Amino acid sequence: MKILRIDSSAQTDGAHSRVLMDTFISKLGNVATVVERDLTESLPHVDAEWVAANNTAADDRSLEQNAKLSVSNALIDELEAADTLLIGLPIYNFGVPAALKAWIDQVCRAHRTFAYSQNGPVGLLEGKRAIVVYVSGGTPIGSDIDFASNYIRHIMGFIGITDVTFVAADKHMMDDTALLRATDEIKALANKLS
């Protein structure tokens, strides 16, 4: 199993999403190869030059345009090589962290991760799985104030990943058992996959 681990918590030590993902990886043991992408190491934001480079045919891009897309290409290469994505999703102000949004903007690329057809966009990364570790202090997953889980599910489907599992440690600041339940769930999921 080839796992792409995506950490998006601004906290590097003790973040609940990171601890839960550590638990998942350790439970898998040697059955998985893990590539780690820590989004606290800032990614460039999409800008006008990036859009122009992306909208230029690959064979016609200048050296500067290729350089502009180099981070995006590396991120997409990681996605293509993985069969399982493990995404840490801490909820910030009812949505995804800015660092995760920057990653999404870099990897959602026409002709690389999706294509346009007569019936609309078609995801090109089929046959992969995503496991999303959803952590919130007070936002219930799937509630009217959760603007992250449906968004992530949609983005995964948009690029072709329709097998999406959420492990939720939601409302952990209001429910002392939320983290324990999520830990049990992530361990059971790892045991099932190993």
Please give the tally of structural domains in the chain: 1
Residue 140 has a pLDDT of 97
- Residue 42: is its pLDDT beyond 90? no
Enclosing domain of residue 57:
2-193
Percent of the chain with pLDDT over 90: 94
Which pTM value belongs to this model?
0.95
Cβ–Cβ under 8 Å, residues 42 and 55: no
Measure the CA–CA gap between 172 and 16, rounded to whole angstroms: 10
Predicted confidence band of residue 83 (pLDDT cuts 50, 70, 90): very high
- Domain containing 144 — which CATH number? 3.40.50.360
Percent of the chain with pLDDT over 70: 100
- pLDDT tens for each residue of 132-180: 999 999 999 999 999 999 999 999 999 999 999 999 999 999 999 999 9
- Residue 58: is its pLDDT beyond 90? yes
Residue 86 has a pLDDT of 98
Ligand-binding annotation for 9, yes or no, is yes
Q: What is the mean pLDDT of the chain?
A: 96
Rg (the chain; Cα; Å)? 17
The tally of CA atoms less than 13 A away on the side-chain side of residue 120 is 4
- Residue 12: is its pLDDT beyond 90? no
Q: What is the three-class DSSP state of 164?
A: strand
4, amino acid identity: L
- Residue 45: is its pLDDT beyond 90? yes
